[in-house]
């Protein structure tokens, strides 16, 4: 959905593209059991649109596991321990439950709702406040790579700042340069998130051309990754924006994805 709205500091506010997600997370840290020697990052999901629940277990510092459970469209993970464990046991795989069921909970269960994603098109503004830059969720908010995207947007800003510092006009025009490059970068994580989100018919927003085919492809890729550690590792690197989108379309991976129940 693209909208035009209010004015900001006397300037027209940027156009926005939004996607209604209705997603919620419950997250807590657990002591890593001595008996657990699995992958440092475990994604647990099921094929969309039949499975709206997801979860992941991440090994972090000091022998700690970060465990996050995700639900959509009203089927949200609880914030009490018994409910949290019950939700984990009912995922497409009960792996997260088996890892943490006897583990020590180290933090309270934090709950976060993610109602909608928004991409603000500052690059399309005809006039903008020259000394005003936006980064992170204020520029492009999507599910779930926000921190990785913000870090790379900061890298883009550093590069643009360095380029302009050596030019005669100094920092003049830096906003246009940054927003154009940031928009080009944001397209990849935004399209990825949209491809997964629009696999669910309940997701609100204008569906871009070809989104159904992309959603089916990523759903098939997701299914393939559940039984293949190398594919799962590749998807993890892509989710954290270490690898480009084209990686997931390369052979022989593409043929394997197309050969699944696509």
Q: pLDDT tens, 114-169?
A: 899 999 999 999 888 777 889 999 999 987 667 888 999 999 999 998 888 776 66
- What is the spatial distance between Cα 247 and Cα 19, in angstroms, rounded to a whole number? 25
pLDDT score, position 86: 97
Residue identified by tokens 């459970």 is 69
Share of the chain above pLDDT 90, in %: 44
Determine contact, residues 176/129, Cβ cutoff 8 Å.
no
pLDDT at 118: 93
* DSSP letters for 112-177: EEEEEEEEEEGGG-SS--TT----GGGTEE-SS-HHHHHHHHHHHHHHHHHHHHTSTTTTTTHHHH
Q: How confident is the model at residue 87 (pLDDT cuts 50, 70, 90)?
A: very high
Give mean pLDDT, residues 227-243.
Answer: 79
Q: How confident is the model over 48-56, as a mean pLDDT?
A: 88
pTM of the predicted model, to two decimals?
A: 0.80
Average pLDDT, the chain: 86
Element (H, E) at 57: strand 54-60
For the CA atoms of 245, 247, 251, 254, what is the dihedral angle to 10 degrees? -40
3 pLDDT higher than 60? no
Q: At what angle are helices 211-225 and 229-239 packed, to 10 degrees?
A: 130
Taking the C-alpha atoms of residue 33 and residue 47, their distance in angstroms, rounded to an integer, is 29
pLDDT tens-digit profile of 4-29? 555 656 788 899 999 998 999 999 99
- pLDDT digit string, tens, across residues 157-201: 999 988 887 766 667 788 999 999 999 999 888 888 888 888 899
pLDDT value at residue 74: 94
């Amino acid at each position: 959905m693209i909208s035009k709205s209010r004015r900001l500091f006397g300037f027209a506010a940027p156009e926005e593209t939004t996607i209604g997600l209705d997603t919620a997370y419950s997250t807590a840290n657990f002591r890593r059991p001595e008996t657990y020697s699995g992958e440092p990052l475990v994604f647990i999901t099921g094929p969309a649109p039949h499975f709206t629940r997801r979860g992941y277990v991440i090994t972090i510092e000091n022998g700690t596991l970060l465990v996050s459970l995700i639900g959509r469209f009203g089927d949200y993970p609880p914030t009490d321990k018994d409910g949290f464990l019950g939700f984990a046991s009912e995922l497409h795989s009960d792996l997260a439950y088996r890892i943490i069921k006897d583990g020590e909970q180290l933090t309270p269960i934090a709950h976060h709702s993610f109602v909608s994603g928004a991409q603000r098109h500052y690059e399309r503004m005809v006039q903008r406040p020259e000394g005003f830059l936006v980064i992170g969720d204020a520029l492009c908010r999507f599910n779930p790579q926000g921190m990785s995207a913000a870090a790379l947007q900061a890298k883009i800003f550093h590069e643009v700042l360095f380029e302009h510092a050596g030019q005669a006009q100094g920092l003049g025009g830096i906003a246009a340069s940054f927003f154009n490059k940031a928009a080009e970068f944001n397209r990849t994580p935004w399209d990825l998130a949209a491809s997964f989100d629009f696999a669910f018919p309940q997701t609100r927003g204008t569906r871009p051309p070809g989104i159904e085919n992309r959603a089916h492809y990523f759903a098939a890729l997701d299914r393939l990754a559940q039984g293949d550690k190398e594919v799962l590792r590749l998807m993890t690197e892509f989710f954290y924006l270490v690898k480009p989108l084209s990686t997931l379309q390369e052979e022989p991976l593409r043929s394997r994805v197309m050969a699944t129940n696509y």
